[in-house]
Chain A
Amino acid sequence: ETGVTQSPTHLIKTRGQQVTLRCSSQSGHNTVSWYQQALGQGPQFIFQYYREEENGRGNFPPRFSGLQFPNYSSELNVNALELDDSALYLCASSSRSGADEQYFGPGTRLTVT
């Protein structure tokens, strides 16, 4: 069974730029959630995709957008990067929509300068 993978591992961007982060879900899982984790804080829910549809969204502005593909992999896009977007971005997959047990990828550490 393949675990959750994310790419890239680290990324440095400049304020105002755009970034795309990628996630491959665990085999057999059809649901992907994205989280932002700042240092010393718990993960903050950005949104969830279930069978290619957004299934819930946290308190993040529209410049945070996502996609899920037919193979259930997913992308997180962030436009007009701000310094406060610097964080660890985590992707988690689960076997069904809703509040199921989630399995996290190693994360992408984004630094915005």
Chain B
Amino acid sequence: RKEVEQDPGPFNVPEGATVAFNCTYSNSASQSFFWYRQDCRKEPKLLMSVYSSGNEDGRFTAQLNRASQYISLLIRDSKLSDSATYLCVVSYSGGSYIPTFGRGTSLIVHP
């Protein structure tokens, strides 16, 4: 089992739709969680941190479920500009720092 798993997609949704991605992780001692967005042939850009209490930033909501070991990203009212690959990152800091990225989920928003 991979340490961090994401459905690669693509998720193909119309403008205005709500779409959700999950990211599962295997290390129960993981401490930090993030979502990044990566456009084609560009660098990843931080989208949001994921806190135990969950967090929301405009149309984006991130949740953490420690019991089931997954994080989620919900995008409401999808825009064409949301088309990208969404990467989750899970980090474990047991003495040294080891972050693990998922392979990403591709989202395509069409008119």
| A contacts, CB < 8 Å to B | 33, 35, 40-45, 48, 50, 55-58, 90, 97-107
Contacts and interface: CB of A to CB of B under 8 A. Distances in A.
Q: Which of B42, B49, B98, B100 has the most CB of A within 10 A?
A: B98
14 contacts: A33-B99, A35-B101, A42-B4, A45-B98, A45-B99, A45-B100, A55-B97, A56-B97, A98-B91, A101-B34, A102-B46, A104-B45, A105-B43, A107-B43
Contacts, number: 59
B70 to A, nearest CB: 16
- Size range of the chain B interface in the assembly: 20 to 34
A61 B98 CA distance: 16
Q: In terms of DSSP, what is the predominant structure of the interface of chain B? A: strand
B103 A42 contact: yes
Q: Which of A48, A58, A103, A104 has the most CB of B within 10 A?
A: A104
A53 to B, nearest CB: 10
Nearest to B100: A45
A105 B93 CA distance: 23
Interface in B75-111: 87, 91-93, 96-104
Contacts of B4: 42
B12 interface: no
B87 A99 contact: no
